[in-house]
Structure 1
Amino acid sequence: MAEQTNHIIRKIDPTGNVTTFAGEAGVSGNRDGQSTTAQFNYPSDIAIDNAGNIYVADAKNHLIRKIDSSGNVITFAGQAGVSGSVDGGTEATFSRPSGIASDNSGNIYVVDRDSNLIRKITTSGNVTTIAGQNGSGSNDGQGTNATFNVPVDVAIDISGNLYIADRNNHLIRKINTSGYVSTIAGQAGVYGSENGYGEISKFYMPYGVAVNDQGEIFVADNFNHLIRKLSVTSSSSNQNDNNTYLEIFRGNTQHTVTEGIIST
C-alpha cells in the first residue's frame, strides 16, 4: 500500500504483519535505488503486474516509479518535479498522478489528476493519452472527446474495461475497450447518497475504485463515509448501456440497502 504522508510503500503479509517495503519514512524525495534508500514524495497508489513488478503513482514528484522483484526502484515515466501532460517516451510528463492500474499485457493506466487525463504507459515506457482533455468537464464520448473533473483512481476488469472515480464530478465513469467513456453512476456536479436509477443515484467525492473478477465495482464514497458496490452487466444495444445494481455498505460493513439502477 502507498502511505502518502509518510512517503513510503508498506507491505502487509497474510498474517497481518506490516513492514516498510520501500522509501524512507517521513522523508520526501525522488531518489532511485534499492528500496530502503529510495525516496518518494506523496505516493498515492500502487499497481502490480503479472511479473510481480510494483508501479507507484508518485504524486508530488509527477512520476511513475517501478519497483522490480529485487527491490530496485527506478523512474519508469515522467520527469521529476516537472508538471505537464506531454505524451511520448523520456519527454513525457504527468501532473500529480494519483491512481494506477495494470492490465494482463503489462500496460499501465494512470489517472493524471491535475491534467484531468487518463494515460497509458506501454511496457517499453511510451506514454499516450487515452481519454480526457486539459480542462474540466463531464462529457461522455470517445477517448479525448470526453472530459473529467479531478479524476483520482482507476481500476481495470478482466475484460480490459477501465473504471474511473471522477471525484469532483461525483461520478463513476467507464472506459470500454474501444476507448468510449460513459457515465455509469452518479449525477455530474450533484453530490448526495441517494440510490435508484442512474440519473437519481448520487455520490459525494468518490475517491477510490476497485473491481473483482465477477465485474462487481466497489467505490470508496469519501465524504459520505460509505463503501458502495455496483454490479454491472453490459447491454449489446448501445456502446454505453449498462444495467447496474447498487448496494451500500457503511463503515462497519453492515449491509443496509440494495436498489437497482440503470444507467444509459
Structure 2
Amino acid sequence: MVSPFAGTGIQESIDGTTQTASFRTPFGLELDTFGNIFVSDPDSNLIRKIDRFGNVTTLSTNLVLGAPSGIKFDPITGDKFIACQDTAQILKIDPMDQFSLYAGSSPGIDGFQNGDRLNSLFKGPLFMDLDRERNLYVGELSNHTIRKINLNSETVSTLSGGVSGYLDGDLTSAQFKSPSGITYDQKTDSLLVADLQNHRIRKIDLKTSTVSTLLGNGIEANIDGKGLNASFNGPAFISLDNSGYMFVSDTSSNKIRIVDPDLNVFTIPHTFAALGVVKIDCPNQRLLTTDFGANQIFQIKFE
C-alpha cells in the first residue's frame, strides 16, 4: 500500500506538520536512531527535518549548500554527512544541527584529488554509506568513481573506478558509469553499487578487492527476472534490510524494485512522478521514499 507520508504536494519550502508542510524537491532521505527523518532539497538548497512527532522544520546554516543530495547518519557520533553535488563537497551536521565542511574544497571547486579531507576534490558526489571500520564511501557521478573517506584518519582515497565504462575485475581495473547509490552489506563485508548509466547493480567485495555484476543485463528496461536476467532502468539507490532484501530506486521507470535473497527481482506496482531515494524504516515496518515530481514523501507498507 502506497500512501502520502509528508508534504501537501505544493512546490514550496514551508514548515509545519507532515500534513501541512510543503517540500520543493525532496530527494535524499535518511533516518537517525532517535526517530528523526532528514530530507535534502536540492532545488532550494535546504535540509529539512521531520521529528518523531511529525513536525517538519528547516535546518539553518550560513554555509552554501549546493544541491544537497545524499545523507548518511553516523550512529556512533550522531553526525549526518551531506553530499552536495553543485559545490562538490561533503558537509557534516553535528548532533546540535550545526553545519561544517567535512571534505572537499571550501570554495566548492570540483575535480579529482585524494589526500587530506579538506584538500580533496570531488565531482558529482551523490550517495554515501559507512562500513564497520568507519569508512565513508561516496558514489561520484561525474568522476565515475567510488571514493573512500576514512573517518579515523580523515583522509580521502579512491576505492575503485575513474574511467567511464563497464568492466568487472579487481578494484584498479573495474569501470563504472555514473555510480550513485552505495550500500554497505555488513553480512558479506561488501558494497552494493547502483551503477546508474550501466543499468546494473554491482558488488564490491571488500575482502577480495574485486568488482562483479550482481543484477541486471545492461538493457535499459523494467523487466523482472533473476540476477543477470533482470533489466533495470536507471537504478540510483539501494536500501538493504536485515533479511537480505534489497529495495532499488529505478529512477528512469520511476518504480521501486524488490530483490529477494535469491536475487529474484520484482516490481512494486506503483509509478511515481519522479522517484528519489527509497529507505527502510524498520521500527515502523515500512519503506519511505521521496518523490521530487510530486513534491512529497510516501510510505509503503506491505500487508
TM-score after normalising by structure 2 = 0.68
User: Which residue in the other structure is 2:219 paired with?
Assistant: none
In the TM superposition, residue 196 of structure 1 has moved relative to its aligned partner by: 1.7
In the TM superposition, residue 93 of structure 1 has moved relative to its aligned partner by: 2.8
User: Which residue in the other structure is 1:210 paired with?
Assistant: 183
State the secondary structure of the residue aligned to 1:56: strand
- Separation (CA, whole Å) in 1 of partners of 2:17 and 2:54: 6
In the TM superposition, residue 181 of structure 1 has moved relative to its aligned partner by: 0.7
Match for residue 141 of structure 1 among 115, 120, 124? 115
User: Which residue in the other structure is 2:154 paired with?
Assistant: 179
User: Is 1:55 the counterpart of 2:38 in the alignment?
Assistant: yes
TM-score after normalising by structure 1 = 0.77
- Separation (CA, whole Å) in 1 of partners of 2:120 and 2:14: 36
Q: RCO (CA 8 Å, sep 6+): is it higher in 1 or 2? A: 2
Q: Percent identity?
A: 35
Query: In 1, are the aligned partners of 2:169 and 2:212 still within 8 Å (CA)?
Result: no
Runs of 4+ in structure 1 displaced over 6 angstroms? none
In the TM superposition, residue 255 of structure 1 has moved relative to its aligned partner by: 4.9
User: Is 1:68 the counterpart of 2:51 in the alignment?
Assistant: yes
Match for residue 32 of structure 1 among 3, 6, 15? 15
Match for residue 106 of structure 1 among 78, 93, 115? 78
- Separation (CA, whole Å) in 1 of partners of 2:150 and 2:144: 20
How many residues get paired?
A: 216
- Separation (CA, whole Å) in 2 of partners of 1:205 and 1:33: 36
Q: RMSD of the alignment, in Å?
A: 1.6
In the TM superposition, residue 130 of structure 1 has moved relative to its aligned partner by: 1.3
- Separation (CA, whole Å) in 2 of partners of 1:183 and 1:253: 31
User: Is 1:194 the counterpart of 2:167 in the alignment?
Assistant: yes
- Separation (CA, whole Å) in 1 of partners of 2:121 and 2:143: 10
Match for residue 7 of structure 2 among 23, 35, 44? 23
In the TM superposition, residue 76 of structure 1 has moved relative to its aligned partner by: 1.8
In the TM superposition, residue 198 of structure 1 has moved relative to its aligned partner by: 2.6
State the secondary structure of the residue aligned to 1:229: strand
Query: In 2, are the aligned partners of 1:59 and 1:96 still within 8 Å (CA)?
Result: yes
User: Which residue in the other structure is 1:259 paired with?
Assistant: none
Query: In 1, are the aligned partners of 2:80 and 2:93 still within 8 Å (CA)?
Result: yes
Query: In 1, are the aligned partners of 2:84 and 2:125 still within 8 Å (CA)?
Result: yes
User: Which residue in the other structure is 1:246 paired with?
Assistant: 211
- Separation (CA, whole Å) in 2 of partners of 1:244 and 1:23: 43
